[in-house]
Amino acid sequence: MANLLMIESWLQSTGLMLPPLLHDAGHRYVLVTRDPDLYRLPDGAPHPVLALAAEVVVAETNDDAALLAAAREIAARERAAGRPVDGVLTTCDYYLPAVAHVAEGLGLPGAPADVLRTATRKHLVRQALAAGGVPDVPFAVASTWDQARKEAASLGYPLVVKPVDMNSGTGVAKVADETGLAVAFAAATGPERNTRDQPLERLALLERVLDGPEYSVESVTRDGVTRVLGITAKSVAEPGVEAGSGFVESGHLFPAPLAPDERDAIERHVVAVLAAVGLTHGISHTEVRFTAAGPRLIELNPRQGGGYVFELVRLVTGYNPLRVLVDLALGREPVAGPPAATSAAVTFLLAPADGVVREVRGAERLADDDRVVGHETPSPGREVRPGDNNERIGHVLVADPTGHAAKDWADELAAGLDIRVDAAALTR
């Protein structure tokens, strides 16, 4: 049995699944959080991350010095009780640098904290690729409107505009002209804090638009050596170029149907990206587009893939990315279990318009379909809006045990749902 520190957590997806995985494996963890009340389910019940914690310690997790002091106190207390702390982890992107900082301070396995600070800032990743000679998309960084206008004119439209330190596609927009740029720049630089009350840098990253199919590469790096677990094909609801349009991932398929030379090119590019950033330890989810000039980075995420990618990888390869996360935190070599499928896919349900869900028809068929591994549909009364990945309203996840029909099945089942939205009832 291992004893872990968990520094904050996501509320959904991986945040729901990691606590029972730790519990079932016989591990123990202390949750360190600045706000235990954050971890409540919609019905008011304790979130699994709270309910399954051996102890909950309240500390200022947004202050590295205060967090490390609290972690040292916990570690000393646990050691005195005969339970030395074996590792530090989180499922929340915003606390990856903090986890690395604490792991360094306690002498536990982890990536260098400065590397995680780079890897979680989009503009710093681009700068690292430029310094390392890795082929990349033309880009610029702007802190003021005048600077954004000048850089956009130099790069040329259309452009993608992103905040440098947000996640889940928040604030990402494709723009065609200066009018769209103004809206996107304000959205990227306007918020002062993220959802965990951390201060934002309020910088906009401007990038040339990349054309080509999108993929994500799921990798494990240990002792500086990267092993690719597989490549996921990603379906993206492409925006137009009107002001404020954004990107939403609408589905994933694992493994991606790629020719061997394409697969090799993507894998080599991602290994080069990770090396340029200096990532020597950790699981990563790297998004790329395969352009006419070859693979080009969209974003590097030094954590397991969200959007149920982690579940698709587990079903097909036997490697459970959440178990890999735990193994790496403990300094262990990750081990695969038996695979359960040849292909797996998830299709997300997207709101057809702003409004309130009145009815979902056809959901009862999903529970009786052997192809379905998991599904979620919106409850009547839920307010919905098309937007970034946080605004997806449900999903259908399927597995094909012997073939490659998973994506067709998932799309078919999702299309069979009739989600009725009343726009007039929206109150906010």
Q: At 201, which CATH number?
A: 3.30.1490.20
Mean pLDDT in residue range 257-282: 97
**Judgement on whether residues 260 and 173 belong to the same structural domain of the protein:** no
Start-to-end C-alpha separation, the chain: 48
**Judgement on whether residues 80 and 8 belong to the same structural domain of the protein:** yes
Report d(CA 104, CA 370) in Å as an integer: 46
> What is residue 212's three-state secondary structure?
coil
Specify which residues 372 forms β-bridges with: 398
pTM to 2 decimal places = 0.89
Burial of 335 (0-12, 13-18, 19+ CB in 10 A): exposed
Instruction: Tell me which of 156, 178, 209 is where a domain ends.
Output: 209
CATH code for the domain of 23: 3.40.50.20
Indicate whether 116 belongs to any domain.
Answer: no
Q: What pLDDT, on the 0 to 100 scale, is given for residue 387?
A: 62
**Judgement on whether residues 221 and 332 belong to the same structural domain of the protein:** yes
CB burial readout 271-307, b (16+ within 10 A) else e: bbbbbbbbbbbbbbbbbbbbeeeebbbbebbbbbbbb
The answer, yes or no, to whether residue 423 has pLDDT greater than 90, is no
**Judgement on whether residues 217 and 319 belong to the same structural domain of the protein:** yes
Most confident of the following: 312-326, 341-355, 390-404: 312-326
Instruction: Tell me which of 108, 127, 156 is where a domain ends.
Output: 108
Least confident stretch, 208-222, 241-255, 375-389, 411-425: 241-255
Indicate whether 229 belongs to any domain.
Answer: yes
**Judgement on whether residues 285 and 358 belong to the same structural domain of the protein:** no
Instruction: Tell me which of 315, 340, 365 is where a domain ends.
Output: 340
In percent, how much of the chain has pLDDT > 70? Answer: 95
**Judgement on whether residues 266 and 181 belong to the same structural domain of the protein:** no
Q: What pLDDT, on the 0 to 100 scale, is given for residue 192?
A: 97
What amino acid occupies position 101? H
What number of other Cβ atoms are within 10 A of residue 378's Cβ?
Answer: 20
Indicate whether 125 belongs to any domain.
Answer: no
Q: How many angstroms separate the Cα of 346 from the Cα of each of 20, 92, 94?
A: 22, 22, 25
The answer, yes or no, to whether residue 239 has pLDDT greater than 50, is no
Domain hosting 142: range is 138-209
Least confident stretch, 67-81, 341-355, 397-411, 413-427: 413-427
CB burial readout 42-81, b (16+ within 10 A) else e: eeeeebbbbebbeeebebebbeeeebbebbeebbeebeee
Q: What pLDDT, on the 0 to 100 scale, is given for residue 421?
A: 85
Indicate whether 114 belongs to any domain.
Answer: no
Return the beta strands (E) in 309-382 as ranges.
343-349, 355-361, 372-376
Whether the Cβ atoms of residue 226 and residue 268 lie closer than 8 Å to each other: no
| pLDDT tens digits for range 148-176 | 999 999 999 999 999 999 987 889 999 99
Confidence of residue 389 (pLDDT cuts 50, 70, 90): low
CA 297, distance to chain mean position in Å, is: 15
Indicate whether 372 belongs to any domain.
Answer: yes
Indicate whether 133 belongs to any domain.
Answer: no
**Judgement on whether residues 233 and 284 belong to the same structural domain of the protein:** yes
| pLDDT tens digits for range 11-57 | 988 899 999 999 999 999 999 999 999 999 888 899 999 999 999 99
Contacts of residue 12, Cβ cutoff 8 Å, sequence gap at least 6: none
When divided into structural domains, the chain yields a total of 4
Q: What pLDDT, on the 0 to 100 scale, is given for residue 170?
A: 86
**Judgement on whether residues 12 and 28 belong to the same structural domain of the protein:** yes
Whether the Cβ atoms of residue 237 and residue 231 lie closer than 8 Å to each other: no
**Nearest Cα to 15, choosing from 44, 43, 46?**
46
Report d(CA 272, CA 283) in Å as an integer: 15
Mean pLDDT in residue range 95-123: 97
**Judgement on whether residues 328 and 349 belong to the same structural domain of the protein:** no
Indicate whether 113 belongs to any domain.
Answer: no
| pLDDT tens digits for range 3-21 | 999 999 999 888 999 999 9
Specify which residues 159 forms β-bridges with: 175, 208
CATH code for the domain of 362: 3.30.470.20
3-state secondary structure 59-95: CCCCCHHHHHHHHHHHHHHHHHCCCCCCEEECCCHHH
Whether the Cβ atoms of residue 215 and residue 231 lie closer than 8 Å to each other: yes
Indicate whether 119 belongs to any domain.
Answer: no
**Judgement on whether residues 263 and 381 belong to the same structural domain of the protein:** no
Confidence of residue 242 (pLDDT cuts 50, 70, 90): very low
Mean pLDDT in residue range 82-96: 97
Specify which residues 199 forms β-bridges with: 193
CA 310, distance to chain mean position in Å, is: 10
The answer, yes or no, to whether residue 140 has pLDDT greater than 80, is yes
The answer, yes or no, to whether residue 360 has pLDDT greater than 90, is no
DSSP string, 364-405: HHHHT-TTEEEEE-PPTT-EE---SGGG--EEEEEEESSSS-
| pLDDT tens digits for range 282-340 | 999 999 999 999 999 999 999 998 888 989 999 999 999 999 999 999 999 999 999 99
**Judgement on whether residues 162 and 185 belong to the same structural domain of the protein:** yes
Cα torsion 83, 88, 92, 94: sign:
positive
Report d(CA 334, CA 252) in Å as an integer: 24
Contacts of residue 74, Cβ cutoff 8 Å, sequence gap at least 6: 5, 30, 32, 57, 85
**Nearest Cα to 88, choosing from 69, 56, 110?**
110
Token pair in block for residue 239: 């925006």
**Judgement on whether residues 218 and 332 belong to the same structural domain of the protein:** yes
Average pLDDT over the chain reads: 93
Q: What pLDDT, on the 0 to 100 scale, is given for residue 251?
A: 93
| pLDDT tens digits for range 142-152 | 999 999 999 99
Report d(CA 282, CA 295) in Å as an integer: 22
